[in-house]
Amino acid sequence: MLVVDFMHEFELGVWKSFFTHLIRILYAAQPDGSLVETLNERYRQISTFGSSTIRRFSNNASEMKKLAARDFEDLLQCAVPVFEGLLAEPHNTHLMKLLHRMAEWHSFAKLRLHTESTLSYLEALTRELGQRMRQFRDETCYHFETRELPRETEARKRRQQTNAKGKQPEYGSGARKLKVLNLFIYKWHALGDYVRTIRLFGGTDGYSTQLGELAHRVVKRLYGQTNKRKAVGQIAKRWRRLENAQKAYQRRLLREHKLGFTLRSTPTKEKGITTPEDEGDPELRYHMSGSKNQNFDVFALVRKKAQDPAYKKFLPKLQDHLLGRLIDRSFDGDAHDEFSDTDRNSVRILGNKIYTVKTCQLHYTTYDLQRKYDTVNSTSHPDIMVRSPETGVNASPYWYARVLGVYHTNVWTSHPAVKNGGDVRRMDFLWVRWFGEEPGYRYGFREARLPKVGFVESSDDYAFGFLDPKHVIRGCHLVPAFHGGRTSELLPVTQSDARVLEGSVVDDWETFYVNVFADRDLVMRHFGGGVGHVKNTLPTADSLSDTDMDIDEDEEGPLNEMESSLAEVDVLMRPELDPHEVDEEVPEAEQEDLEEDEDLNTWDDDDDVANEEEAAGSDDDGGYASL
275-292: string of b/e by CB count within 10 Å (b at 16+)?
bbeeeeeeeebbbbbbee
Q: Which amino acid is at 343?
A: D
pLDDT 10s digits, 378-396: 999 999 999 998 877 778 8
560 located within any domain: no
Confidence of residue 521 (pLDDT cuts 50, 70, 90): very high
527 located within any domain: no
Residue 490 and residue 595 in one domain:
no
User: Which of 250-264, 283-297, 322-336, 612-626 shows the highest mean pLDDT?
Assistant: 283-297
Contact 26, 95 (CB under 8 A): no
* DSSP label of 177: P
529 located within any domain: no
Residues 6+ positions from 46 with CB-CB distance below 8 Å: 54, 57, 78, 81, 82, 479, 480
Domain of residue 280 covers: 276-515
For the chain, the straight-line distance linking the first and the last C-alpha, in angstroms and rounded, comes to: 21
- Give residue 329's pLDDT: 84
- Give residue 495's pLDDT: 87
Has residue 587 got a pLDDT over 80?
Answer: no
562 located within any domain: no
Residue 456 and residue 334 in one domain:
yes
Residue 445 and residue 590 in one domain:
no
Q: Please state, for a pLDDT cut of 70, what percent of the chain lies above it.
A: 79
Residue 496 and residue 358 in one domain:
yes
Has residue 283 got a pLDDT over 90?
Answer: no
Q: Which helix (H) or strand (E) holds 454?
A: strand 452-455
Q: What is the spatial distance between Cα 171 and Cα 174, in angstroms, rounded to a whole number? A: 8
Residue 288 and residue 385 in one domain:
yes
User: Which of 103-107, 177-181, 370-374 shows the highest mean pLDDT?
Assistant: 103-107
- Give residue 627's pLDDT: 37
Pick 262 or 534 by higher pLDDT: 534
Has residue 491 got a pLDDT over 70?
Answer: yes
377 located within any domain: yes
The number of folded domains in the chain is 3
Residues 6+ positions from 415 with CB-CB distance below 8 Å: 323, 326, 327, 343, 346, 347, 421
609 located within any domain: yes
CA 15 to each of CA 8, 69, 99, 585: distance values in angstroms, whole numbers, following the listed order:
10, 10, 10, 16
197-231: string of b/e by CB count within 10 Å (b at 16+)?
bbeeeebbbeebbbeebeeeeeeeebeeeeeeeee
pLDDT 10s digits, 58-86: 999 999 998 999 999 999 999 999 999 99
